[in-house]
Chain A
């Protein structure tokens, strides 16, 4: 029994019985039952023996749990970066694999080439600006917006010139639309040619564009829209890209746009000004737009007389094939991807139509024999990408995944066989066939054509 006098004696507390990490952890995250337990354990060992107290860091034996939980991480225990360290942010370093890519051997010179959007890694409907596909005919430039001009001439009362300052004062609209190159999926007219959805479907992007409606500009210049049924859009780059726009069909929703997803257009997408022609193939969305001419006949420009024409089996070329018809593709899983294990998956993809809204998407897991209707995510906008999702439990057996979109005109996305039976296999353009992805029992997904 202790003597009463000893009760008042001060006993020195054991020092260094908890680790620096635990001190930092408690300072950052406070005390909870687990940390109290650590303290108690540490204190007991400190009292019990000096050697034990020094060697008492926060340590767990293997098998006690997930190291990602049990071990402290650098980002939990050190000071992070300051705000505005990256004043115009960039994606995580762990996202560095999702970038625009060229298809090797597709073209000989990169200034007249294509870089494809990595659809396999995207979510939702909006394409990040840094991943919007690129297609140039003679390279891109950073045009100076201060000296950029837009001229409107032809069948107008007054041929007029607008600066960017002028245009950006006008009443603007902001609308979300997809843009798809007429040659998207064109590599696959004859055979399977490329491995992943980036190369099969990646000349496709979808953004919110802001600009002045074409109609407002044409009315302002006193355009004769009775005689003037056609518009020539001309680019300010070295290729002087020219395309005829069908005013009867496109006047109502065409935009002379300067913004994409809230920022100014990126240089490789036409900064400071491009035409947005919803539903129409991308080549008509003239970049670095500098001139609009109203006329009474189509121009038959190089890219509407030599390219962007579809060769039919009888040797005739379909000219001015402009509208991108209803189409869809499953993006996850897709070609070149690898499923880890059997079990539940969310299968997801994109659907779009140049003629209106997506009404329904069906998905097949057995090569088109049986179909289930997918969930459509909102918003469902006209001439825009709609995201679809469907639940799936994979039992580990081989499968062929397909999606089939229907738009609000009642048009149903066709199979490649239906398209080839009518148009042959030398078209290049406007291949909107159902895409098939084969899943092997080892989890690997590959690009195949069925039928």
Chain B
């Protein structure tokens, strides 16, 4: 019995010592980790961790890694990785707004893009707007290409920025952009003087630029309707009846039909069609196509990153074994059929979903 008590006492002592040791480790760690108010929470970042994540590049070029790239190198990368979305000359408006266009040699001198004021350009391109070259570098490096972000090296990025700048004739075709000369390029950015912070929206205490009226009675002599939705757009957002509650005092209008001639009445007479509608929650292959991100690269009728569904269906029309062939392509990925951009393997799809998707692409069913 005595032995047992002794043993317990000794064990307690051991664990108490261990606890003390742990505490002192924790305290010393805390000392170097700098936390005072919330001990045990968080830790200091290692230098390598900060380097891995702190990739932002500011307008003063703080954060810009060393490196360089030529317009020519940029063009090669552009054509294989960027042109499918942005056009060969950065002019495409298919998926995102165009990158280049709308700037002049005069804009480069003044630092103000004149076409922003004269409305002659139908679209505001990136080069018309972006005031700082650092912004191009930062965004391309952190988020491009669209379907494979963070896959470019710093030198790739210099080359791509050089190519874009050459499209705007901001640098010559034989230019090599580098961390050493990028500040010189900044002095030629066409819209470098085109931004203002002289407004009240930057701060919660800022001064608003406009204010409304507090008039309560007889405020306007004549109420004029300046703009309405044209009749042809009545159903452009789908059947509004299907986008509202099917009961209650405010129902949705059946926009597949012309407006009612009279009030429906308390029973909702005349809105019976609305009661037949159900949720427009898309199911089946179309939903699968969207949810599995196929729609990020393929559209029903237009070429995006990849060919349109209509084009694929047309190409394989009447071919025997097309279903199996395409199923294998979806599973393993493919390239070369529709251009240089490879289709990544879609291994996350079940065989059943793959079959459904391919059948839908080929037959619409």
Contacts and interface: CB of A to CB of B under 8 A. Distances in A.
Interface of A: 94-99, 101, 103-105, 108-112, 118, 120-121, 137-139, 151, 153, 157-163, 166, 169-170, 191-196, 198-199, 219-222, 232, 234, 238-240, 242, 246, 248-250, 279, 290-291, 293, 295, 297-302, 305-306, 309, 311-323, 325, 332-334, 336-342, 345, 354-355, 362, 366-371, 396, 400, 404, 406, 411-415, 418-419, 422-423, 430, 434, 436, 438, 440-451
Contact of A412 (B54, B212, B226, B236): B212
Contacts, number: 365
Given A111-B293, A170-B38, A443-B264, A99 B279 contact: yes
A138 B203 contact: no
B120 to A, nearest CB: 11
Contact of B290 (A110, A337, A400, A441): A110
Contact of B202 (A234, A322, A345): A322
Given A191-B227, A443-B264, A337 B50 contact: no
Contact of A110 (B33, B243, B296): B296
B225 interface: yes
Given A301-B138, A400-B225, 15 more contacts: A94-B247, A138-B143, A238-B143, A242-B138, A279-B204, A297-B59, A305-B131, A318-B195, A319-B195, A321-B199, A325-B201, A339-B263, A369-B219, A411-B211, A442-B260
Interface stretch (B169-177, B265-273, B329-337, B342-350): B265-273
A239 B220 contact: no
| Most chain B beta carbons < 10 A, residue from A118, A161, A404 | A161
B212 A434 contact: yes
A196 B95 contact: no
B219 A309 contact: no
Nearest to A324: B201
B268 A337 contact: no
A151 B45 contact: yes
Contact of B129 (A139, A309, A368): A309
B53 to A, nearest CB: 6
Nearest to A451: B226
B243 A192 contact: no
A448 B228 contact: yes
A118 B233 CA distance: 20
A334 B249 CA distance: 12
25 contacts: A103-B237, A104-B238, A118-B243, A121-B245, A139-B293, A151-B49, A153-B54, A162-B41, A169-B41, A196-B240, A291-B53, A299-B59, A300-B135, A321-B199, A321-B201, A325-B208, A337-B240, A338-B264, A340-B263, A340-B266, A415-B212, A422-B210, A436-B225, A441-B263, A443-B263
B295 A110 contact: yes
Nearest to A194: B237
Contacts of B271: 338, 340
A192 B227 contact: yes
Given A109-B95, A195-B255, A419-B210, A161 B280 contact: no
A342 B266 CA distance: 9
Contact of B196 (A95, A160, A297, A316): A316
A414 B211 contact: yes
B253 A302 contact: no
B212 A404 contact: yes
Contacts of B22: none
B116 A333 contact: no
B118 to A, nearest CB: 8
Contacts of B213: 412, 415
Contacts of A321: 199, 201-202
Nearest to A311: B116
A338 B139 contact: no
A97 B242 contact: yes
Nearest to A93: B279
Contacts of B40: 169
B129 A162 contact: no
A160 B202 contact: no
Contacts of B135: 300-302, 305-306
| Most chain B beta carbons < 10 A, residue from A318, A333, A441 | A318
B27 to A, nearest CB: 16
A288 B171 CA distance: 37
Contact of A239 (B131, B143, B278, B290): B143
A295 B58 CA distance: 10
B223 A400 contact: yes
B261 to A, nearest CB: 7
A302 B138 contact: yes
| Most chain B beta carbons < 10 A, residue from A159, A166, A430 | A159
A370 B149 contact: no
A2 B222 CA distance: 92
Given A108-B304, A121-B244, A338-B271, A240 B220 contact: no
A306 B279 contact: no
A309 B263 contact: no
Contacts of B55: 240
Nearest to B115: A315
B354 to A, nearest CB: 20
3 smallest beta-carbon distances between A and B, as pairs: A315-B117, A96-B279, A367-B223
